[in-house]
Structure 1
Amino acid sequence: MNNLSALNARITAIGSYVPDRILTNDELEKMVDTNDEWIVQRTGIRERRIAAEDEYTSHLCIRAVEDMIARYQTSLDDVDLIIVATHTPDLPFPSAACLVQAHFGIPVTGAYDLNATCAGFSYALHTAGALVSAGVHRKVLVIGGDTLSKITDYTDRSTCILFGDGAGSVMVERDDEYPAFLAHHLGSDGTGGKHVYRTGLASHLNGVPLGGEGKLVQNGREVYKFAVTTVPQGIEKLLAKSNMQRSDIDWFIPHSANLRIIESICEKSGIPFEKALYSLVFYGNTSAASIPLALDLGIKEGKVQAGDTLLLYGFGGGLTHAGLMVRWG
C-alpha cells in the first residue's frame, strides 16, 4: 500500500488502570433526580470508577504504566520523553509527567503534560509518533489520564452521570520496517470553547462571564452537534490520506463520551457500529483515558489482533478533535 503519510513508529506496549471504587447509576439516583433506565437510555453508561480522596491523576498514570511493564516487560530506562495527556493534573505544576518520571526514576527524559481534554490522547499519540519518526526521540511514553470526579458537580444531573476516572499508557518506538502510524487529522474550533469548560485564573471567555466555580460545565447538545458533524468529516480525510476504504478498518475507537454519539458517528460515517470499541459502559467518560482504556479492553477480550487497523478519534473541549489511523502490533 502506497501511503506517503505513514510514520516510522509503532505502539509496542499498553497498560491501563481504573480506581477500585465503583459509582453505580443506582447510587446516583440517591444524589440527583435521575434513574438507571434514564441514564442507560441516554448515555449507555452503567457504572464509573471514582478515585479515592487522596488518589490523583499521577497515581492513576503510574498504575497504568506498572500494568504495562508487568504485561510487556518493557523497560523505562531508555525512555527519552514522557507525554501525559490530561486536563486534571494533580497540580498546575509540577506536571503529572514529571511526577511519573520521579516515581520511576527514569534517568534522562523530557516530560510534559498536554491538554487537549478528551482529544488529548490522540494528540499526544500523534505527537509521539511524529517525534519518533523524525528521529528526534527513540522511545516515548504516552499516557492519557484524568480524574474527572475531582471537577464534577454532583448536584448537576446533566454532567455527574457521565464522568469517571482512569488512565491508559502506551509505548511508542521507532520502527523502519513496520510503519504503523498510517495517517492523522487534527482540528480545532476555538469559538466553541464556551460549550465545555472549567474556570481557572480567568472567569470570563471572550468577555462573557463563566459559571461553574472550578467545576466542569458542559452544553451537551452543542458538544453532540460538534462531534457528529466533525468526526465523520475527519474520518473521510483520514481514509483519503491513508489510501484506505472503510472495509480496511478493523476497529473504530472513538472517545467514549456517550454511546448515542458513537452510534450517530458510525451511522453518518458508514462504519458498522459492531466495529466500535468503547470503555464507557462500566468506566463512564474518562476524557483522555477513554481511548486507551477501550483499546486495552479490546485487547484483553481478544478482539484486537496483531496487524489490525485501528481508527482512533478523540474530540472534546477547545473545541478540539484528532483522528489517527494506526496498525496494531
Structure 2
Amino acid sequence: MTRRAVVKGVGHYLPERVVPNSYFEDIVDTSDEWIRTRSGIERRHFAAEGETTSQMAAHAAREALKNASLDVDDIDAIIVATSTPDLTFPSVATMVQSELGMTRGFGFDVQAVCAGFVFALTNANALIMSGQVDRVLVIGSETFSRILDMTDRATCVLFGDGAGALVLEAQDGSGENTDRGILSADLNSDGRMRDMLYVDGGVSTTQTSGHLRMQGNPLFRQAVGKLTETAETALGKVGLTDDDLDWIVPHQANIRIIQGTAKKMGVPMDRVILTVQDHGNTSAASIPLALSVGCTEGKIKQGDLVVTEAIGGGLAWGAVVIRW
C-alpha cells in the first residue's frame, strides 16, 4: 500500500470589489481592447481597504473545510502560498490558524511567487506521505493590488486579489497511477532569471514593500517551454502522458501563455480550466481559485486526471499531477 494525499475539499474567496478593464483607461494609456487582446483579462477583484491576505485565506479555508465536511479540529497543518503577507512576520498561516480557532498542529508560508501553490502542494504531499500529518489545508492567497505601480501599464492591468484552498487527506492507495491523490510533482528554479519578474523593494534593501516589475516579452518566451516541460516531466514520472489528461489547470497569468502551453502539449482548450478573464493574475492564488471554480462548475470530477503548472518570479516553476 502507498500513502496518498487525496483532495478532500476545495474553496475560494474573491473580494467584493470588481475592477473592469475600463477602470485603467483613466489612469494609464490603455484600453479594454488592448488588455483583452494581450492578456485575455476582462476584470479582476481588488481587496477592500483594510482587507488582508490572511483574512481572504481564512475565508477560502472555511469554504474548503465545508466542502470537505470537516472542521478545523480535523486539520493537522496549514500551508499558505503567498508573496503578499500581512506582515513581514509572523506567517500568514499562523494568522489563519488563529482566525480559524485552530489550537493544535502547525502552520507556515511558502514563497515561490506565482508558482507558490505548486510548491506548497508538493510540501503538503511530502508531509502526508512521510506520516507527519493526516490532513493539511493548502491555501494560496494574494493582495497583489498592494504592490502594483499604477503608472506602469504593462503590469498594473494584469493582477488581481483573491484566495483559494484545498484540503488534502491521507488515504491508502495501491501505488499505481490509477490511485486518487497527488501522483507526482516536478519543481524547478533558476535565480539567473530573477530580473524578469521581481519587486523592487524589501526589508533588507529598501525597508519598503516596493512595486512589481516585469520584463513581459522575455518572460513569455520562457513560460510556454518551461510549463510544457515541467508538466510532461511530472506526468512521465508516473508513466502518464498528455493524452491521459482530463484537465490542465494552469496558473492564470495570460491567455496566450495558457493557449501556447496547451497547444504544445496537444491538449484542446476545452480541457483547460480558464479563470483569467474574471480574476486576472492572482499569483499563488490562481491555481486553487481555478480548481475550486472548476469543481463548482461541475467540470472536475472524482477520478479525473489533472495537471497544475505554474511559473513565477525566481524564476520558479513546476507542476503537480493529481488524480481527483
Give the TM-score of the pair, scaled to structure 1: 0.93
Q: Distance in 1 between matches of 2:16 and 2:29?
A: 25
Alignment of 1:47 onto 2:48? no
Residue number in structure 2 paired with 1:226: 222
Alignment of 1:101 onto 2:102? no
Residue number in structure 2 paired with 1:276: 272
Q: Distance in 1 between matches of 2:225 and 2:205?
A: 29
Identity %: 41
Query: 1:248-259 counterparts in 2 under 5 A?
Result: 248-259=244-255
Alignment of 1:289 onto 2:289? no
RMSD: 1.7
SS at match of 1:8: strand
> 8 Å contact 1:181–1:325 — kept in the other structure?
yes
Aligned positions, number: 317
Alignment of 1:215 onto 2:211? yes
Q: Cα offset for 1:213?
A: 7.1
Q: Distance in 2 between matches of 1:253 and 1:76?
A: 27
Residue number in structure 1 paired with 2:188: 187
Note the alpha carbon deviations across 1:233-256, whole angstroms, 9 max, x for none. Answer: 112212211211222100001100
Query: 1:290-329 counterparts in 2 under 5 A?
Result: 290-328=286-324
> 8 Å contact 2:160–2:282 — kept in the other structure?
yes
Residue number in structure 1 paired with 2:176: none
Query: 1:85-96 counterparts in 2 under 5 A?
Result: 85-96=81-92
Give the TM-score of the pair, scaled to structure 2: 0.94
Amino acid at match of 2:202: G
Q: Distance in 1 between matches of 2:99 and 2:41?
A: 33
Q: Cα offset for 1:310?
A: 0.3
User: Where do 5+ consecutive residues of structure 2 fail to align?
Assistant: 174-178
Q: Distance in 2 between matches of 1:85 and 1:277?
A: 20
Q: Distance in 2 between matches of 1:231 and 1:69?
A: 30
* Residue 162 of structure 1, aligned match among 158, 165, 170: 158
Note the alpha carbon deviations across 1:29-55, whole angstroms, 9 max, x for none. Answer: 111110111110000000000001100
Q: Distance in 1 between matches of 2:251 and 2:45?
A: 17
SS at match of 1:143: strand
Note the alpha carbon deviations across 1:2-40, whole angstroms, 9 max, x for none. Answer: xx9x86111101110000001111111111110111110
Alignment of 1:200 onto 2:202? yes
SS at match of 2:221: helix
Amino acid at match of 2:48: A
Amino acid at match of 1:317: G
Amino acid at match of 2:322: V
Residue number in structure 1 paired with 2:23: 27
Q: Distance in 2 between matches of 1:37 and 1:191?
A: 34
